[in-house]
């Protein structure tokens, strides 16, 4: 089964993405060795993936709990008609927020945020309620994180089956 959805992404690109999704620090020469290709070929493919916006950035995974951000909140918001983008953009500027999503269903938006204290969470919820366009919120506190990371390599493997 061919899992490629974009004509500009080939099998080599997918192999490169698998490797980088496991270890984004892996150097291009090692990737070239692993895939039995020239370093220049790998460099060109990575550059093309970056320019196409498929590779957005390179990063690390941080354990926020070890840094004191032990409270994860999931905030559902109902917004006045026509003002959703405006409300979401304002909320997205808060550094505690790491996800803002439009939804179907009962609520219009879903916010994911991390906090060190309940007081910090309370302040943010109160700030959200100040908006004249926010009709209601429903906040959940995450008790345990079971899974928070996905693997592109595993996702591709599942699609190939």
pTM, to two decimals: 0.80
pLDDT band at 7 (very low <50, low <70, confident <90, very high): low
Q: Give residue 46's pLDDT.
A: 95
Confidence of residue 6 (pLDDT cuts 50, 70, 90): low
Residue-range domain boundaries for the chain: 11-59, 64-141
| pLDDT value of position 149 | 82
Q: Quick one: pLDDT band at residue 153, thresholds 50, 70, 90?
A: confident
Return the CATH number of the domain spanning residue range 11-59.
Answer: 1.10.10.10
**Helix (H/G/I), strand (E/B), else coil: 139:** strand
Helix axes 11-22, 39-51, angle to 10 degrees: 90
Fold of 64-141: Alpha-Beta Plaits (3.30.70)
Q: How far apart are CA 1 and CA 68, in angstroms?
A: 45
Which residue would you say has higher pLDDT here, 21 or 150? 21
Kindly report, residue by residue over 65-107, the tens digit of the pLDDT.
Answer: 999 999 999 999 999 988 999 999 999 999 999 999 999 999 9
């Amino acid at each position: 089964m061919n899992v490629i959805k974009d004509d500009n992404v080939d099998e080599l690109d997918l192999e490169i993405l698998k490797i980088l999704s496991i270890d984004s620090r892996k150097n291009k020469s090692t990737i070239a060795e692993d895939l039995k290709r020239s370093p220049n070929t790998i460099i060109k493919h990575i550059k093309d993936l970056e320019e196409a916006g498929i590779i957005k950035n390179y990063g690390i995974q941080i354990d926020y709990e070890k840094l004191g951000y032990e409270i994860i909140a999931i905030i559902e918001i109902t917004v006045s008609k026509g003002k959703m983008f405006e409300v979401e953009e304002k909320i997205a500027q808060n550094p505690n927020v790491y996800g803002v999503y439009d939804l179907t269903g009962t609520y219009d938006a879903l916010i994911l945020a991390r906090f060190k204290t309940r007081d910090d969470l309370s302040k943010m919820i109160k700030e959200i309620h100040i908006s004249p366009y926010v009709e209601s919120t429903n906040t959940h506190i995450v008790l345990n994180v079971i899974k928070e990371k996905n693997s592109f390599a595993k996702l591709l493997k599942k699609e190939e089956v």
